[in-house]
């Protein structure tokens, strides 16, 4: 009996991920991206850049009144970062599980932070925590033209 696959591409959820300066300086970019790719998620945008202070202020605006805000801005603008947009089913939830708890002491072994991070202030990676924040962060860091829509050859084997 011949099997036929009827593939209709549907828009999947998207999320924003940033590898922070400590991830770059420690040479972990490939390992961190590999963890996300191996889970079946798809990268649809990526940049290596130095973060302008005004963008850092917008990105971390929710922390403006907190005592660590200035240190956070100094840290995120201290070296290059890799910004990315990832796509997949329930991608926000999946990425957050792969990344692990914000505090590496609370992050489970097998997560990025549980395996590689030591302190909360140098926790390697940022991942959007909600659909609203994902939209806002993607729009802050990327234009629509910088996000690529494409089909990967393995999508028919990953998604029903």
pLDDT the model gives residue 1: 45
Considering the domain boundaries, does residue 156 fall inside one?
Answer: no
- Count Cβ atoms within 10 A of the Cβ of residue 132 and give its class: 0-12 exposed, 13-18 middle, 19 or more buried: exposed
Whether residue 74 lies inside any domain: the answer is: yes
| pLDDT for residue 5 | 45
In the chain (160 residues long), the average pLDDT of successive 10-residue segments reads 49 93 98 96 97 96 91 96 97 98 96 96 96 97 95 82
Q: pLDDT tens, 141-158?
A: 999 999 999 888 888 788
Mind telling me the catalytic residues? 126
Say if residues 127 and 23 touch (Cβ distance below 8 Å).
no
CATH code, domain with 39: 3.30.70.141
Distance CA 143, CA 160 (A): 30
Tell me which residue has tokens 């200035």: 70
82 inside domain: yes
Is 4 domain-assigned?
A: no
Tell me, what's the pLDDT at 153? Answer: 85
What's the pTM? 0.90
CA dist 72 and 116 (Å) reads 19
What local confidence, expressed as pLDDT, does residue 3 receive?
A: 45
Sequential DSSP letters for the chain:
----------PPEEEEEEE-HHHHHTT-HHHHHHHHHHTT-EEEEEEEEEPPHHHHHHHTGGGTTSTTHHHHHHHHTSSEEEEEEEEETTHHHHHHHHH--SSTTTSPTTSHHHHH--BTTB-SEEE--SHHHHHHHHHHH--GGGSPP---TTHHHH--
Inside any domain, residue 6: no
Number of domains in the chain: 1
Whether 159 maps to a domain, the answer reads: no
What domain range is 89 assigned to? 13-149
Q: Name the token pair of 79.
A: 């070296």
Contact (Cβ atoms closer than 8 angstroms) between residue 113 and residue 104: yes
The residue with tokens 């959820």 is 13
Residue 19 resides in a domain: yes
Residue 48, domain member (yes or no)? yes
């Amino acid at each position: 009996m011949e099997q036929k696959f009827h593939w209709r591409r549907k828009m999947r959820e998207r999320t924003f991920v940033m590898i922070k300066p400590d991830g770059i300086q420690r040479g972990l970019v490939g390992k961190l991206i590999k963890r996300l790719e191996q889970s079946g998620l798809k990268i649809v945008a990526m940049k290596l850049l130095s973060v302008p202070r005004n963008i850092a202020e917008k990105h971390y605006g929710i922390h403006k009144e907190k005592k660590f805000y200035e240190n956070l801005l100094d840290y995120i603008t201290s070296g290059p970062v890799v910004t990315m947009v990832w796509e997949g089913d329930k991608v926000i939830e999946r990425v957050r599980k792969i990344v692990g708890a914000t505090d590496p002491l609370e992050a489970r072994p097998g997560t990025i932070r549980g395996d590689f991070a030591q302190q909360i202030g140098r926790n390697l990676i940022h991942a959007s925590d909600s659909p609203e924040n994902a939209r806002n962060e993607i729009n802050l860091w990327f234009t629509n033209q910088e996000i690529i829509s494409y089909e990967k050859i393995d999508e028919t084997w990953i998604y029903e």
